[in-house]
Structure 1
Amino acid sequence: MLDSRQGWLAHPFSLPRSLRTWLSDHGSLTQRLKSHCTSFRVVPLETGLARANADEYALLGVAPGTRVYVREVLLLCNDVPVVFAHSVLPSAGLRGGWNGITQLGSRSLGEALFSDHRIERQPLAYRRVRNDHPLYRAAARQQAVASSLWARRSVFCLNRHPLLVTEVFLPAIDTP
């Protein structure tokens, strides 16, 4: 379910050409990054129970303010951060098939998502995030960034339990 009132759109209009293929690719971002760089790494930033961003609760089917499991990582190509990834899972999902997410550490979530045929992916949604959005601020804490960043998100379902994955593309994505 997309909520255009929250700024998330089904199609990335006015995307810069350099980002168009990165954002619109429906395959594994991890695999795509690995094919574009000599070394790929996942750097865990934050994991644990926290509050989701305001625009995430409805997608996950949980009441606003409910604590959820959040995982934030940087994806690095050749030791340069290219993507800030933010994943959100309702607590019930930890018992509903997603329990391995808490043990990923520096392993890629994408590899798990695209290797399990039971996992269904919902359509991608796109948004330009600016400094008033929590995802922009989280990405900006990791490195200096432009005044806005493009992001995409999608819900993955396993045993009817949703996992929301948002990827914020950092300026260096143009040169992996």
Structure 2
Amino acid sequence: MKVLDRLSSTRAGWLNKPINSGHYHHWLIDGGSLTSRLQRASKRFAVKPIDVHYAKPYEDEVALLNLKKSKLVLVRDVHLISNGTPVVVAHSILPRNSMRGRWHGLGRLGNKPLGGALFTNPKVMRTPLAYKKLLPHHDLYALVAQSVDVVPSFLWARRSIFRLNKAVILVTEIFLPEVLAL
């Protein structure tokens, strides 16, 4: 099954459009590089790693990437920071077989943005964005709650798969309320 087909058949509550997303709407639907947009909107932009480790992906990520449930992937969680304030939590899933060839160094990005590697290569293809309003029971909401001081009653997120030949990376971006000030 093609990656695009899996994206639509395994959404697990993810939406094709960010319905009732209010002020977050323009941030969610922008199909360009979020890193570039934040860099333009910020006097100081930074990436701060939260955690980089091998783990089993969340259940809907397993289905989306067509992985075995026991398969370990590289999980990279970072804060995207504007003017000293975290505005987005980025959660990336990199299957081991995707970290070969041109993407072999992606596991060692540290405080460098992943977007730089993905959007500068014209051969990288991106699936359509999917959207979700995250509530406190969701694993990604819990991830954010562990890494920031104050979490609202819900968070908006978007995700897509980036593909270079057979290599795939799932990137989920969770928008913190502070992004609305930019």
Class of the TM-score when normalised by the shorter of the 2 chains: over 0.9
2:102 maps to a residue whose letter is G
1:170 maps to a residue whose letter is L
Query: Does the 8 Å contact 1:153/1:165 carry over to 2?
Result: yes
Counterpart for residue 115 of structure 1: 120
- Structure 2 unpaired stretches of 5+: 1-6
Counterpart for residue 35 of structure 1: 40
Query: Does the 8 Å contact 1:9/1:127 carry over to 2?
Result: yes
Which of 147, 165, 175 is the matching residue for 1:169?
175
1:153 maps to a residue whose letter is R
1:1-176 aligned within 5 A: 1-3=7-9, 6-16=12-22, 18-143=23-148, 144-176=150-182
Render the CA deviation track for 1:85-109: whole Å, top value 9, x for unaligned: 0000111111253212112110000
Aligned residues: 175
Render the CA deviation track for 1:98-122: whole Å, top value 9, x for unaligned: 2121121100001111001111101
Q: Secondary structure at the match of 1:66?
A: coil
Question: What is the CA-CA distance between 1:4 and the residue it aligns to?
Answer: 6.5
Give the TM-score normalised by the residue count of structure 1.
Answer: 0.95
Query: Does the 8 Å contact 2:90/2:173 carry over to 1?
Result: yes
Question: What is the CA-CA distance between 1:2 and the residue it aligns to?
Answer: 2.7
Query: Does the 8 Å contact 2:10/2:63 carry over to 1?
Result: no
Give the TM-score normalised by the residue count of structure 2.
Answer: 0.92
Counterpart for residue 3 of structure 2: none
Query: Does the 8 Å contact 1:3/1:9 carry over to 2?
Result: no
- Structure 1 unpaired stretches of 5+: none
Whole-angstrom distance in 2 between the partners of 1:12 and 1:5: 13
Question: What is the CA-CA distance between 1:29 and the residue it aligns to?
Answer: 0.3
Q: Secondary structure at the match of 2:25?
A: helix
Q: Secondary structure at the match of 1:126?
A: strand
Query: Does the 8 Å contact 1:120/1:158 carry over to 2?
Result: yes
Tell me the percent identity.
43
Render the CA deviation track for 1:27-85: whole Å, top value 9, x for unaligned: 00011111111100000111121111111011112112311111000000001000000
2:98 maps to a residue whose letter is G
